[in-house]
Chains A and B, each alone.
Chain A
Amino acid sequence: MEDIIICRCQEVTEQEIIDAVHEGATTVDGVKRRTRACMGLCQGKTCGRLVERIVARESGRSAAEVTPQHSRMPVRPVKIGTFGGDGDA
Chain B
Amino acid sequence: MREITTDIAVIGAGSAGLSAAYQAASAGADVLVIDENHLPGGQLFKQIHKFFGSRAHQAGTRGFQIGQELLERVQKSGARVWLDTLVYGIERDCSLGVIHDGAHYVVRAKKVIVATGAKENYMAFPGSTLPGVMGAGAAQTMVNVNRVLPGKRVVMLGSGNVGLIVSYQLMQAGADVVALVEAAPEIGGYAVHAGKLRRAGVPILVGHTITRVTGDGQVERVEIAQVDKQFNPIPGTERVLEADTVCLAVGLNPMTELVWMAGCKFCFIPAFGGHVPMHDGNMETTVPGLYVAGDVTGVEEASSAMEEGNLAGVCAAHALGLLTDEQAADKKAEINARLDALRAGLFGERRRTAKQQQLDAMQAEQGGNDHVG
Contacts and interface: CB of A to CB of B under 8 A. Distances in A.
A binds B: yes
Interface of A: 2-6, 8, 14, 45-47, 49-50, 63-64, 67-68, 70-76, 78, 82-83, 85, 87-88
Nearest to B256: A68
B99 A49 contact: no
B126 interface: yes
Contact of A83 (B87, B104, B125, B126): B104
Contacts of B270: 63
Contact of B261 (A46, A73, A76, A82): A73
A67 B266 contact: yes
Contact of B275 (A6, A45, A68): A68
Contacts of B231: none
B interface residue count range (under 10 / 10 to 19 / 20 to 34 / 35 or more): 20 to 34
Residue of A2, A75, A85 ringed by the most chain B CB atoms within 10 A: A75
Interface of B: 1-2, 36, 86-89, 97, 99, 102-104, 119, 121-126, 128-129, 212, 253, 256-258, 260-261, 266, 268, 270, 274-275
Given A45-B119, A47-B122, A63-B270, A8 B86 contact: no
Contacts of B1: 87-88
A67 B275 contact: yes
Contact of B128 (A4, A76, A78): A4
B285 to A, nearest CB: 14
Q: Which 8 interchain pairs have the tightest Cβ spacing?
A: A73-B89, A74-B88, A64-B268, A2-B126, A71-B260, A71-B257, A71-B261, A75-B257
B10 to A, nearest CB: 17
A75 B126 contact: no
A2 B212 CA distance: 10
Contacts of A82: 99, 102-104
B129 A5 contact: yes
27 contacts: A3-B126, A4-B125, A5-B124, A5-B128, A6-B124, A8-B129, A49-B121, A49-B274, A63-B270, A63-B274, A64-B268, A64-B275, A67-B275, A68-B275, A70-B260, A71-B256, A71-B258, A73-B88, A74-B97, A75-B258, A76-B36, A76-B86, A78-B88, A78-B99, A82-B103, A85-B103, A87-B1
Contact of B260 (A64, A68, A88): A68
A47 B126 CA distance: 15
B275 A4 contact: no
A65 B32 CA distance: 36
Given A46-B122, A73-B261, A78-B88, 8 more contacts: A2-B126, A4-B128, A64-B268, A71-B258, A72-B261, A73-B89, A74-B89, A75-B261
Contacts of A45: 119
A4 B124 contact: yes
Contacts of A5: 124, 128-129
A4 B88 contact: no
Nearest to B251: A49
A24 to B, nearest CB: 23
A75 B266 contact: no
A5 B126 CA distance: 7
A14 B104 CA distance: 38
B246 to A, nearest CB: 14
Contact of B268 (A8, A46, A63, A72): A63
Contacts of B260: 68, 70-71
A40 B260 CA distance: 20
Given A83-B104, A88-B104, A75 B128 contact: no
A49 B88 contact: no
